[in-house]
Amino acid sequence: MILEVATLQVHEGKEAEFETVFARASSAISTAKGYLGHELNRCLERKGHYVLLVRWESVDAHTVTFKASSEYEEFRRSIHPFYVKSPEALHYESVEGGLSESSRSTRR
């Protein structure tokens, strides 16, 4: 499993609209081949800052398969106008011994 971590900065005053549009647009990503799940998190200290976490079967499932799909274009068209700048998305893998027992039980 690969974790995509995307940092998003939304235009001030557009946060509520962004969250509504994101909820609808997320259906496009959730049907992608290799998609395992996602969550959008709002920052408490910085208004308009979000972190999007997406779990994929592989990096290629995101960067090749999803990004070449019509679903990606639909997703991008819906949410990208809200961004102050293009999001940074990086991919992570679990580190052996880096997951606590309580985290393991919530991921099952």
- Can you give the CATH number for the domain in which 59 is found? 3.30.70.100
Instruction: State the Cα–Cα distance between residues 69 and 21, nearest whole angstrom.
Output: 20
Q: Quick one: pLDDT at residue 106? A: 57
Domain-located, residue 102: no
**50 located within any domain:** yes
| 36 part of a folded domain | yes
Per-residue pLDDT of the chain (108 residues; tens, 9 = 90+): 999 999 999 999 999 999 999 999 999 899 999 999 999 999 999 999 999 999 999 999 999 999 999 999 999 999 999 999 999 999 999 998 877 766 655 555
| pLDDT score, position 97 | 80
- For residue 12, give every residue at least 6 positions away whose Cβ sits within 8 Å of its Cβ, in sequence order, or none: 47, 48
Q: Answer whether residue 26 is part of any domain.
A: yes
Tally the domains of the chain. Answer: 1
pTM, to two decimals = 0.86
Q: Which domain holds residue 20?
A: 2-91
